[in-house]
Amino acid sequence: MLLAIDVGNTNITCAVICGEETKASFRLTTKQSRTSDEFGIVICDLLERRGVKQEEITDVIIASVVPGIMYSLTSAIIKYLDITPMIVGEGTKSGIRIDTPNPKEIGADRIVDAVAAYYLYGGPVIVVDFGTATTYDLITENGAFTAGITSPGIRISANALWNDTAKLPEIEIEKPATILAKDTITSMQAGLVYGCIGQTEYIINKMKEESGLTNAKVVATGGLGKLIADNTDSIDVYNQMLTMEGLRLIYEKTSGKKA
Strands 133-139 and 125-130: antiparallel
Q: Which residues contact 163 (CB under 8 A, 6 or more apart)?
A: none
Catalytic residues, which ones? 109
Please state the φ and ψ torsions of residue 237, each to the nearest 5 degrees. Answer: -140, 135
Rounded Cα distance, 135 and 133, in Å: 6
Distances (CA, A) of 15 to 20, 201, 254: 12, 31, 19
Check: CB of residue 16 under 8 Å from CB of residue 23. yes
Rounded to whole angstroms, the Cα distance separating 204 from 13 reads 27
Confirm if 221 and 238 have CB atoms less than 8 A apart.
yes
Going 119 to 120 to 123 to 127, the CA torsion angle's sign is negative
